[in-house]
Structure 1
Amino acid sequence: MDSAHLGRAFHGGEHYENFPVGSWLVPKPMRGPVLALYRFARTGDDIADEGAAPRHERHHGLGMLRAGLESPPQPGLPGEPNPKPPLPPNDARLWRIGQSLGAALNERALSASPAHDLLDAFAQDVDHTPMQSEHDVLDYCARSANPVGRLVLGFAGLPDDPSKHQEMLQASDAICTGLQLANFAQDMGQDQARGRHYAPHAWRSEAQDPDDLVSRMAQWARYHLNAGVALPALIRKSSVVGRWRLAMEIALTIEGGLEVSRRVLADPTRVWHASPRISSVLLPVLLLRAFKRI
């Protein structure tokens, strides 16, 4: 990772992101693993969401990610899939993306369970049924978002062990759930166009206007993000390498989610036409807000 990533702090890979992904703030030892995680999650999300592929092809693609995840390279053995006959090029590409994350986890003796949870959430998206309750939404977030935070903490040297890091893990889960809810709010128009309804059925029954669903989701996102605001300070006070950078990265992520929530609440009708975007011009303001949190 070099200085070119500074201008892409809110962009990951070839996708626009409203939250910092693998940015220059991430401590150097974590950048490779974090980017492997991002590519894995971004690819899985694209398989589930993008294009017009039939469901069986989407599930096959997720299966290739899972196969690679379960096959981290071993010393002295080739790091390429070697089935007979050879895999088609796209399958091999997906396999390698999964293997890259599996290798990062294996090197740090971290469980792959959170990554499998992500794949389960993507599979749920492929077979989507409308959410019936707030519990359903939070259960989805526990698999679609919270594992990302727990893996990032694991890459920082804070493994998923509630007996040692319960306060950090709870704050991380709150932030990740809040980010997922903020995405639901900003992308509600796109999701409904795909036939996906992440607002609970009870909300849809009670809403006087579609904008009410958008506002309620953004408020819910803000609630969860605020529930996790202690995490940057907890990281800064910890003994992990690069704790200041990691604390700032997390604080900036929180600010990105809160800014999205603000924009959605200011004009909920907008999401039916286009998702709000955070310009890199706003980055200095968000950095200042983030610094105050650590």
Structure 2
Amino acid sequence: MTRDHSKTFYFGSRFFPLPQRQAVWAVYAACRVGDDIVDEPGGGPVVLSDWWARVQSALTGRVAFSQAGPHPVDLALGWAAGQFPIPVSAFQELYLGLRMDLEGQVYRDMDDLELYCRRVAGVVGFMIAPICGYSGGDRTLEYALRLGQAMQLTNILRDVGEDLARGRLYLPESLLNEYGVTPAMLEAAEVTPEYCALMRHLTALARTWYAEGRAGIPQLQGSGRLAVTAAARAYEGILDALERNGYDNFRRRASVSGTRKLLMLPQAWWEMKLG
């Protein structure tokens, strides 16, 4: 699931030792199941509530069984939680973030968007940090939170067109008004000068969040430093691709090739050594 749905996350995960790698995959898969419930047909509040109940059971060592037997992702998450102190509270915030999608949250300002980025991705840092092992206490977790938020903002900037097709818009109303981007422009998929200016603003904000989040990487233990550095660099590369595409995220999907990711590794390794 990780390899098929997030090549960038999977790329970074390969630098963990096997037990940590498997735990990271289990966490990603559990998050992905929840995400698919709000994005794909057949989901909804009842199905999401069932997912949340199953996650709680798995994290507390009580994997739920149905007539078909336990779900493989539940088994994997239950195993991971038995090996590493993955917090239930982080998944609870994720659940609240996924509900924001189901309830059609309107994003009036950056505070609304930042909260959403925290809930659906920032808290993944709280899940991954215990798997890495870390020092620095809550300060390191705040850095991990910021890095996850940067990745989610990157997703939002990459997927504006796809999200509009689902009836969702994450760009805050206050910024749309500030930059003169109208609903009609978005519906027409117009890459206007005003829209490009808005994208430049949010791309710069995402880069600031990456820089803030990377400050915590030296507090991670062992190969977790390289794994997170590689994933962050590859994810930030999506912003480079968006810029190369002229900020056209209606018709073109910004992505980073496998070759380009590999070429980022020396820089990621050097940053890790400097940290």
Instruction: Give the TM-score band, short-chain normalised.
Output: 0.7 to 0.9
Which residue, 18, 29, 45 being the options, matches 2:19?
Answer: 29
State yes or no: 1:173 paired with 2:173: no
Change in CA separation of 1:74 and 1:129 when aligned onto 2, cut-off 3 Å: closer
| Equivalent-residue separation in structure 2 for 1:73 and 1:250 (angstroms) | 23
Which residue, 265, 269, 274 being the options, matches 1:291?
Answer: 269
SS in structure 1 of the partner of residue 252 of structure 2 = coil
Deviation at 1:73, TM superposition (A): 8.6
Change in CA separation of 1:226 and 1:32 when aligned onto 2, cut-off 3 Å: same
Which residue, 33, 44, 52 being the options, matches 1:66?
Answer: 52
Deviation at 1:80, TM superposition (A): 5.1
SS in structure 2 of the partner of residue 270 of structure 1 = coil
Deviation at 1:231, TM superposition (A): 2.6
Which residue, 203, 206, 210 being the options, matches 2:195?
Answer: 210
State yes or no: 1:273 paired with 2:243: no
**8 Å contact kept, 1:184–1:217:** no
Deviation at 1:96, TM superposition (A): 5.0
Change in CA separation of 1:247 and 1:99 when aligned onto 2, cut-off 3 Å: same
Which residue, 221, 236, 245 being the options, matches 2:206?
Answer: 221
Change in CA separation of 1:193 and 1:74 when aligned onto 2, cut-off 3 Å: closer
What amino acid is the match of 1:105? A
Which residue, 28, 33, 38 being the options, matches 1:38?
Answer: 28
Cα shift readout 1:178-214 (whole Å, capped 9, x = no counterpart): 1111111111111122121111111111224333333
State yes or no: 1:153 paired with 2:129: yes
| Equivalent-residue separation in structure 2 for 1:110 and 1:228 (angstroms) | 20
In the superposition, the TM-score normalised over structure 1's length comes to 0.79
**8 Å contact kept, 1:21–1:38:** no
Deviation at 1:283, TM superposition (A): 2.2
| Equivalent-residue separation in structure 1 for 2:161 and 2:259 (angstroms) | 25
| Equivalent-residue separation in structure 2 for 1:284 and 1:64 (angstroms) | 39
Change in CA separation of 1:72 and 1:20 when aligned onto 2, cut-off 3 Å: closer
| Equivalent-residue separation in structure 1 for 2:59 and 2:201 (angstroms) | 45
Change in CA separation of 1:109 and 1:258 when aligned onto 2, cut-off 3 Å: closer
Query: Which segments of structure 1 move beyond 6 Å, counting only runs of 4 or more?
Result: none
**8 Å contact kept, 1:13–1:39:** no
Cα shift readout 1:216-247 (whole Å, capped 9, x = no counterpart): 22221111001122233232xxxx4xx1x211
Change in CA separation of 1:22 and 1:252 when aligned onto 2, cut-off 3 Å: closer
| Equivalent-residue separation in structure 2 for 1:201 and 1:104 (angstroms) | 40
Change in CA separation of 1:113 and 1:96 when aligned onto 2, cut-off 3 Å: farther
Deviation at 1:49, TM superposition (A): 1.3
Q: Which residue of 2 aligns with 1:136?
A: 112
Structure 2: unaligned runs, 5 residues or longer: 181-193
What amino acid is the match of 1:44? G
Q: Which of the pair is proportionally richer in helix?
A: 2
Change in CA separation of 1:73 and 1:39 when aligned onto 2, cut-off 3 Å: closer
| Equivalent-residue separation in structure 1 for 2:10 and 2:122 (angstroms) | 16
Deviation at 1:168, TM superposition (A): 1.6
Structure 1: unaligned runs, 5 residues or longer: 1-10
| Equivalent-residue separation in structure 2 for 1:288 and 1:255 (angstroms) | 11
| Equivalent-residue separation in structure 2 for 1:37 and 1:250 (angstroms) | 15
Identity across matched positions, percent: 22
Deviation at 1:137, TM superposition (A): 0.9
What is the RMSD of the two structures over their aligned residues, measured on CA atoms?
2.6
| Equivalent-residue separation in structure 2 for 1:116 and 1:80 (angstroms) | 17
Change in CA separation of 1:80 and 1:96 when aligned onto 2, cut-off 3 Å: farther
| Equivalent-residue separation in structure 2 for 1:22 and 1:118 (angstroms) | 21
Q: Which residue of 2 aligns with 1:248?
A: 226
| Equivalent-residue separation in structure 2 for 1:100 and 1:195 (angstroms) | 33
| Equivalent-residue separation in structure 1 for 2:236 and 2:57 (angstroms) | 38
| Equivalent-residue separation in structure 2 for 1:254 and 1:73 (angstroms) | 26
State yes or no: 1:48 paired with 2:38: yes
Q: Which residue of 1 aligns with 2:100?
A: 124
SS in structure 2 of the partner of residue 275 of structure 1 = coil
What amino acid is the match of 1:214? M
| Equivalent-residue separation in structure 1 for 2:235 and 2:4 (angstroms) | 20
| Equivalent-residue separation in structure 2 for 1:191 and 1:74 (angstroms) | 34
Which residue, 73, 77, 90 being the options, matches 1:101?
Answer: 77
**8 Å contact kept, 1:12–1:22:** no
SS in structure 1 of the partner of residue 35 of structure 2 = helix
| Equivalent-residue separation in structure 2 for 1:150 and 1:73 (angstroms) | 14
**8 Å contact kept, 1:68–1:97:** no
Change in CA separation of 1:58 and 1:22 when aligned onto 2, cut-off 3 Å: farther
